Chains A and B, each alone.
Chain A
Amino acid sequence: MRARRTIDLFARSDERPSARGGQVLETHGHEAARGAGERSPRPTVPQPQVARRSEVLPPAGGASRAPATELWVGVHLAGAAAQRAPQGLQRLALRALRFTPRVSLAPPDGLLLEVRASLHLFGGVEGLRRALRRECADLALAGSLAFAPTPLAALAAARCECALVLQDAARLIGSLAPLPLRALRWPQEALDRLASIGVRTIGQVLRLPRAGFAQRFGAARLADLDRLTGRAPDPRERFEAPVRFRRRRELPCESASHGQLTAALAPLIEALGRFLEARQCGVLAVECRLWHRHAEPTRCVLRLAAPLADAARLAELLGERLRMLALPEPAHTCELRAGEPVPRALCSCGLWQSGEHGGLPEARGSAFIERLRARLGPEAVQGLAVVPDHRPEAAGRVTEPGACWGTATPRFPASPATSRQRVSEAQPIPPGRSPPRDLPLRDRSFAPSRIASGDFAAARPLWLLPVPRPLRQRGGLPRYRGALRLESEPERIETGWWDGRDIERDYYEAVDVHGRRLWLFRERAAPHRWFLQGVFA
C-alpha cells in the first residue's frame, strides 16, 4: 500500500511532460517499468523529482539486461494465411529452423526467431528479411516482419504491420510508443476500459502508474508490459522439429518371398519399437517401402486404430499387410517409415480376461479388428447402425465397429446403397414443393420411430439386396426362378422428395418355389415393374 501511494504520487507528477518526444517517452517508460517492484521496500517518503530522475537516467537499467544481446524477428501471418494458420505456422517454423535454432511458435498466427547470432550469415537484417519473405512466399503465406530486441515487441510490431527494425534496446520504448494497444492482444474488456480513460497506444499505457495499473488491470497485464519493454525476461518455448522414424536396410539378396522380407524388416521394426518406447509414444501409421531394380518402389501402408508401440504387434500386422502385397519384381532394399509419434495412454493389463466377469470387453477386441483390417483392408470390418428413415435402402448405415447406433457418423466409405443416398442428399429440395401438411393415414410406414422401435418386426426382411433387382413378370405377376405366391396385403411406402429420391412402391411378401419368403415391391409409376428387395431368412 505504501509503495503504491508513492508511485501514484510520481505518476501524477509525470502527467505533465506527456507531450514530449520519443526520447522522453522512453525515459518515462523506464520509469514506469522500474516502478514498484524494485522500490517497494523503500520508505514512503515522497522522493524529490531530481532524485527520481537521476535513478532512471542511466540507460544501463532493466531494459538492457537481456535484450541487448538478442534480436527477435516477429512474423505475423495475416489475412487468408491466418485461416490455415496451424499447418502454415508449423511449416514456416520448420523452414525458419534454417536461420536459427531458436524458433518459437506464438499461436495462433505468430512466429518468433532469435537471429542475433545469425545476422552476419544471412546478409544482415535486410538479407534475413528478404530470405524470410521468400520462405513465406514459397508457402503462399502473407506475413509481416518486425525486428526488435524483445520477442513481444517484435510480435506486437509485426501484428501492426509496422516494419520495425530496431537493434538498439535503448530505443525500444520510443519505437513502440505509437503502436496501438490491440497489438498486445489483451481482452477486449481491458482495452475498452483503457480506451475510456484515453489510453490507446503502448506509449500511453507505459506512462500509467505501475501499481495502480496492476491493481486495475491485473498483474498479468503488468507482466506483459515488463516483457514487452525487456524489463522482465521472456523465456520462449523452442519449437522442435518433429522427429520421425525412418530407416533403410538392404536385403542380403534380392527376394520377393514373404518370409525373407519379414525377416529383413524385423530388425527395423524392433528399432522402431525401441524408438517409440524411449519417447513414450506410439504411431498411427507405418509405411514400408520396397525398392526394386527397375520398377517403382512398392509402398505398403499400415494404418492403426489406436497409437501402437509394441514391436511384436507391429510386426504381426505388417506381416499380414505384406502377405497381401503383389510385388512386381524382387526387392533389394526395404525401408520402414513411421508417422508422427503421438503420445499414447499407457494402461495396465487386466487381471481378468475379456469376456470373464470383470474383464474388459474392448481390450482384445481392437487387436482382433486391426488384424483383420491389416489383411482385408480398412473397409472390411464395419459396424451397423439404424437410420430413422422409412425407405428400406436408406434405413441402414455402416459405422465404425461398436459406434453407438443411430448417432454416430460413418467414417468409412459406405455400401453402394448408402453412398447413393449421400450423393442424393447433396441435391437441393426442388423449388415449388413444400413438406406435406398432413400425412395420408394409409401410409403406415411413414413414422420412422416406429420402424426403429420394432413395430414392423414381422414385415421387415433380415437381408436386403444392395440394389433392388428387377423381376420378370408373366400376366402382371412377378416371377423369380419360378412362380411366386403373393402372401400379404400390399404395404405402401412412398415419398422421399426432400433428398431427391422419391419412391412410390407397394410392398408384398411372397413365397418362391423353394419356400423362401421374399420381399417384393411393385412400382406405382407407369411401367409397374416388379423388384426383389429383401429376403426374410
Chain B
Amino acid sequence: MSADPSGPGAMPSDPSHERASRLEGLLAHPLLWRAGHAARQPVWSSGFSRLDEGLPGGGWPRSGLIEVLPARFGVGELKLLLPALAALTTRPEARWSAWVAPPLSPFTPALAAAGVELSRLLIVRAQGRECLWAFEQALGSGACDSVLAWARHAPPRQIRRLHLAAQRGNALGVLFRPRASVREASAAMLRVAVEPLERGVRVTLLKSRGGARGALDLTWDAASTGAGGGP
C-alpha cells in the first residue's frame, strides 16, 4: 500500500518506523476521513494560489455542494470560479458544465476570452421550484463536471439532498444564494461569502469542512498568474 522508500539492497529499517509508515499508509486510504484533515478528497484548483491555500484540500471540491453568498449579484462571484471552470471544461474528458437559472444571459465572448470551452456549457432555464429540481437532476446525472445554480430560496433539507446528489453524480455543485441566507443552516461543504473590493474580491470562508475559516483578499491580477496551473 505504501511505497517502501528503501531499495532492495538497503538495510531493513527499525520496526517502530516500519509500523508508523504502515499506519500512515492505512490512514491514507481514500475511504478514511479524518476531521481537520480533509485533504483526502480530490479538488480542482481554484486558479488563485492564495485561495487554494485557504480552501480545504487546496481547491474547490470535485464532488459536493458549495455555497457562494455574494453581497450583491455581480460583485465578482462568477469571476472567482472562472479559472476553475476554464480548466474543467477544456479537459479532453470534460463533462458538461450546467448553469441552472442564471439571472442574466452570459456574455459568450467574455466567457470564451476567460478560457471557458463554450461547447461544454449548458444553460438551463428554470423558474421557481423547477430550478432546484433541475439543479438536483444535473448534479445527480453523472453527466456534469460542475453545476452552477442561482436560487433565491433553498430549504436546508433540500440543500442536504443537493449535496448527496452532487456526491452521487461526482459533480461540483455551486449554489449562488443571496447574502441574507447566511443565517440559515446549510449542509454544504463550503460556504463562501464574496464582497467586492477595488480590483478584486474579499472571500470569507463562513463554513469550511475540515479547513480554516477566515477572510482573504484576492485581486484579479493574481488570477491570471495562477489560472494556468490546472488540477
Q: Is the CB of A368 within 8 A of B143?
A: yes
Given contacts A355-B145, A516-B74, contact A451 B109 (CB under 8 A): yes
Given A454-B113, A536-B79, A365:B134 Cβ within 8 A:
no
Do the beta carbons of B110 and A361 come within 8 Å of each other?
A: no
Report Cα–Cα, A499/B160, bound state, in Å.
Answer: 51
Determine if A372 and B113 form an interchain contact, defined as CB atoms under 8 angstroms apart: no
Check B161 for interface membership: any CB of A closer than 8 A: no
Say whether A361 contacts B95, CB under 8 Å: yes
Residue of A nearest to B196 (CB): A515
Q: B94: CB under 8 A from chain A?
A: yes
> Quick one: given A364-B142, A537-B77, are A385 and B104 in contact (CB under 8 Å)?
no
Contact B107 A392 (CB under 8 A): yes
Q: A385 is contacted by which of B72, B113, B118, B196 (Cβ under 8 Å)?
A: B118
* A residues 445-476 in Cβ contact with B at 8 Å: 451-457, 460-466
B176-201 interface bits toward A, Cβ cutoff 8 Å, 1 = contact, 0 = none: 00000000000000000001110000
In the complex, A330 has a CB within 8 A of chain B = no
B30 contacts chain A at the CB level, 8 A cutoff: no
The interface-forming segment of B32-40, B44-52, B122-130, B207-215 is B122-130
Residues in B neighbouring A223, C-beta threshold 8 A: none
A375 touches B130 (CB 8 A): yes
Q: Does A443 contact B (CB under 8 A)?
A: no
Is B105's CB under 8 angstroms from A379's CB?
A: no
Question: Nearest CB to that of A460 among chain B residues?
Answer: B110
Given contacts A514-B196, A515-B75, contact A353 B142 (CB under 8 A): yes
B123 touches A463 (CB 8 A): no
With both beta carbons as reference points, the residue of chain A lying nearest to B72 in the complex is identified as A514
Contact of B79 among A415, A456, A537 (CB under 8 A): A537
Rounded to whole angstroms, the CA-CA distance of A109 and B215 in the bound complex is 76
Within 8 A of A (CB), among B53-72: 71-72
- Closest A-chain residue to B199, C-beta based? A517
A384 in contact (CB, < 8 A): yes
Q: Report Cα–Cα, A386/B111, bound state, in Å.
A: 9
Contact B196 A368 (CB under 8 A): no
In the complex, which of the residues B74, B115, B133 contacts A537, with contact meaning CB atoms closer than 8 Å?
B74
Specify which of A380, A417, A452 is in contact with B125 (CB 8 Å cutoff).
A380
Given that A383-B121, A452-B112 are contacting pairs, would A359 and B93 also be in contact in the complex, using a CB cutoff of 8 Å? yes
- Pick the contact of A384 from B113, B123, B133, B142 — CB < 8 Å? B123
B72–A456 CB distance below 8 A: no
Bound Cα distance from A395 to B109, whole angstroms: 7
Nearest CB of B to A351, in Å: 15
User: CA of A54 to CA of B89 in the docked complex: distance in angstroms?
Assistant: 84
**Which of chain B's residues has its CB closest to A355's CB?**
B95
| Cβ–Cβ < 8 Å partners of A411 in chain B | none
**Do residues A404 and B119 form an inter-chain contact, with CB atoms below 8 A?**
yes
**Which DSSP category, helix, strand, loop or mixed, fits chain B's interface?**
mixed
Given A359-B93, A383-B122, A514-B72, A460 and B109 touching (CB < 8 A)? yes
A299 contact set on B, CB distance < 8 A: none
Asked whether A385 and B79 contact (CB < 8 A) given A371-B137, A456-B113, the answer is no
| Across-interface contacts of B22 in A (CB, < 8 A) | none
- Count, A-B residue pairs, CB within 8 A: 178
On whether the beta carbons of A396 and B123 are closer than 8 Å, the reply is no
Name the A residues within 8 Å of B122 (CB-CB).
Answer: 369, 381-383, 401
**Residues of B with C-beta under 8 A to A368:** 96, 137-138, 141-144
| B residues in contact with A462, CB < 8 Å | 78-79, 82, 106-107, 110-111, 114
How would residues 98 to 109 of chain B score, 1 for a CB under 8 Å from any chain A CB and 0 otherwise?
000011111111
Assess whether A534 is interfacial by the CB under 8 Å rule: yes
Across the interface, do B125 and A379 meet the contact criterion of CB distance under 8 Å?
yes
A354 within 8 A of B: yes
> Quick check: A384 and B121 within 8 Å, CB to CB?
yes
Contact B106 A354 (CB under 8 A): no
Q: Is the CB of A460 within 8 A of B113?
A: yes
The listed residue (B93, B118, B197) touching A405 by CB distance below 8 A is B118
Q: In the bound complex, do residue B124 and residue A365 qualify as a contact, i.e. CB atoms below 8 Å apart?
A: no
B173, CB-defined interface residue at 8 Å: no
A382 to B134, CA, bound (A): 13
Interface presence of B76 (CB below 8 A): yes
When C-beta atoms are compared, the residue in chain B nearest to A388 turns out to be B109
A353 to B82: give the CA distance in the assembly, Å: 27
Q: Using an 8 Å CB-CB cutoff, how does the interface string of A375-409 with B read, 1 for contact, 0 for none? A: 11001111111100000100111100111110000
Give the docked Cα–Cα distance between A92 and B43 (Å): 63
Closest to B108 in A: A396
A357 within 8 A of B: yes
Closest A-chain residue to B224, C-beta based? A457
CB of A513 to closest CB in B, whole Å = 10
Q: Given A367-B141, A462-B78, A515-B196 in contact, is the A535-B108 Cβ separation under 8 Å?
A: no
A466 close to B142 (CB less than 8 A):
no
Contact of A376 among B71, B73, B130 (CB under 8 A): B130
List 19 extra interface pairs beyond A396-B109, A537-B74, CB under 8 A. Answer: A364-B143, A365-B141, A365-B143, A368-B138, A368-B143, A371-B141, A379-B125, A381-B124, A383-B118, A384-B108, A397-B108, A454-B114, A457-B113, A462-B79, A515-B195, A515-B196, A535-B73, A536-B79, A537-B76
Task: Report B's interface with A, CB cutoff 8 A.
Answer: 71-79, 82, 93-96, 102-115, 118-126, 130, 133-134, 137-138, 141-145, 170, 195-197
For the complex of A and B, the 4 pairs showing the least CB-CB separation, nearest first, are A515-B196, A454-B113, A368-B141, A535-B74
A selection of 11 A-B contacts at a CB cut-off of 8 Å is A354-B95, A354-B143, A355-B145, A361-B95, A375-B130, A376-B124, A405-B118, A456-B109, A464-B104, A514-B75, A536-B74
